[in-house]
A and B are shown apart, each in its own frame.
Chain A
Amino acid sequence: MSIEFKNVKYTYELHTPFEKKALDDVTLNISKGEFVTILGRTGSGKSTLIQLTNGILKPTSGKVLIDGVSTTKNDASIFEIRKKVGIVFQYPEHQFFEENIYKEIAFGPKNFGFEGSKLNNTILKSLNMIGLSTSVLSKSPFTLSGGEKRKVAIASVIACEPQYIILDEPTSGLDPASVKNFVKTLESLKKMGKTIIVVTHSVDFSLQNADRALIMSKGKITFDGNIQGFVKSSDFEKYELLPPPLYQVGQKIIGFNTKNEKLAEDIKFLEDALQL
């Protein structure tokens, strides 16, 4: 049970003057139950990678396998793959179109054959997981605030009960309280045995939540491993990442000494926070 990439290459507008290599020989294995974050600059290939996981894009060469089944075929197997791999795209609320939130969330699961009480249950369950009350169900999705819209969009993917949940920048535009709430949702999904992949710009988010981080640069995976270890090595520049602000300070003041007790205390706080 896993997502496998075997020597995957992907080129946009192949055989045209606009040819652009987006993924370059990516090999990867994400097992059931893992929590993985993907970091990297804009244009490094993150979105291409996730669109390959459920066959929206097909590899130019190489193979993508979901639980052993290739995404390349366009028969019934791709339907099964899309049921298994749920993707929450960036700014998913821009894709709303239903008149009320119940219908909005129901749209996905209905397509995958949920009906009657099974449909109703999955909608209520996903709404509860994301921390919205049932009173919103009759409202138009367009009347919600930005954070609430995002929650509805995530609920609509969870409601399809996918095994693999992939989220592209899910926290951008969310306030800190909503981010906290969202992290709780991810934790309960993880407890249910779901595999979670989060594309993020936030090294902090990755540090606080993920077991494993991938860093991408120019279509390649340049780092795959434990993010805590990565942060300590301070190799941010090499990986085209910007350290969180406190790290930027921490890196510059290593070895500073002071006789002022209060200041020493404050610097100790910084070192503890960074686990230097």
Chain B
Amino acid sequence: MIEFKNVNFKYGEDIALNNVNLKISEGESIAFLGLNGSGKTSLFQMINGLLMPNDGYVSVDGMRTDEEEKLWEIRKKVGMIFQNPESQIVGTTVEEDIAFGMENIGVPRVEMVKRVDEVLRFVDMEDLKKAEPYHLSGGQKQLLCVASILAMKPKYVIMDEPTSMIDPIGRERILATMNDMNKMGKTLMFSTHILDEIVVSKRVVYLRNGEIVFDGKPMEIMKKVKEEFGTSDFIEFQYRLYRHGFIKHFMKPDELSERLRELCR
């Protein structure tokens, strides 16, 4: 479990997180929403100790991030994928890039070779093992980051706006991969500005000026933040169906079409 207890954090004078309390259990998939500057990235960076609270504490499986001797363990458990994939690709080939993180945490050579193939299969990029990351598309680069993180076998995966630099076809693949990761048991936290993407999560946390103002089921968020965050036709349509009792939760386009087909029978 990841826990935030009365966490406050300031950048100089500016409040970034304001009395944040949060519990994240194993296996969850949580979308973090909020306007630019609402504190999503700060919150994420608290989890693996890149930032430290001014007050309160953050713990990962009972280990507090302010206990320096625990940070190594914490960082092995928490994999972090940043918004811009380019900023975290270091290898000159795809397989080297994946190996880099594993080398850092001391994975034995034989095991490394095995895991490279495993994660490349997972993101469906086996044919690109020897490719230079430079030549990959934006979506493939993001998937490479996912693969590199997964190779270190983290329990928690944090993705800060993983789809914001990717074209829509690439985004579909990232979202599907996120879904698969959650299914294989990873606890997933991601932020997004694209409301339509909350359909892949089971819980939404909404931040405003560093405070958590909503924490609950995706469908419920429509009542709370529509004014501030806006809405989309896709979400509005599903919310109507929900209010009329035709669906119980948000669905992806395919599922939704199928459900409508059933209803119209």
Residues of A near any B CB (own CB < 8 A): 41-43, 90-91, 94, 143-148, 169, 172-178, 180, 201-204, 240-242, 244-246, 248-249, 252-253, 256-258, 260, 262-263, 265-267, 269-270, 273-274
Do A245 and B234 have beta carbons less than 8 Å apart? yes
Interface-central residue, A94, A148, A172, A256, by most chain B CB under 10 Å: A172
What chain A residues lie within 8 Å of B164 (beta carbons)? 172-173
Beyond A177-B230, A249-B253, A269-B237, whether A41 also contacts B169 by CB under 8 A is yes
- Residue-wise, chain B 171-215 has the 8 Å CB interface mask toward A (1 for contact) of 010000000000000000000010110000000000000000000
Do B253 and A245 have beta carbons less than 8 Å apart? yes
Do A242 and B168 have beta carbons less than 8 Å apart? yes
What chain B residues lie within 8 Å of A256 (beta carbons)? 260-261, 264
What chain A residues lie within 8 Å of B228 (beta carbons)? 177
Do B230 and A43 have beta carbons less than 8 Å apart? no
What chain B residues lie within 8 Å of A246 (beta carbons)? 232-234, 237, 253
Do B233 and A147 have beta carbons less than 8 Å apart? no
A124 to B35 CA separation, bound complex (whole angstroms): 25
The A interface is mostly helix, strand or loop, or mixed, namely helix
Do B230 and A176 have beta carbons less than 8 Å apart? yes
Do A147 and B260 have beta carbons less than 8 Å apart? no
Give the number of residues in B that approach A within 8 Å (Cβ atoms). 46
B263 adjacent to chain A (CB < 8 Å): yes
A144 to B36 CA separation, bound complex (whole angstroms): 10
What chain B residues lie within 8 Å of A172 (beta carbons)? 164-165
In-complex Cβ contact of A145 among B36, B138, B253, B257 (8 A):
B36
Do A249 and B36 have beta carbons less than 8 Å apart? no
Smallest CB–CB gap between B27 and chain A, Å? 26
Q: List 8 A-B contacts (CB under 8 A).
A: A42-B166, A148-B36, A173-B83, A176-B230, A201-B168, A204-B232, A249-B237, A265-B244
B72 adjacent to chain A (CB < 8 Å): no
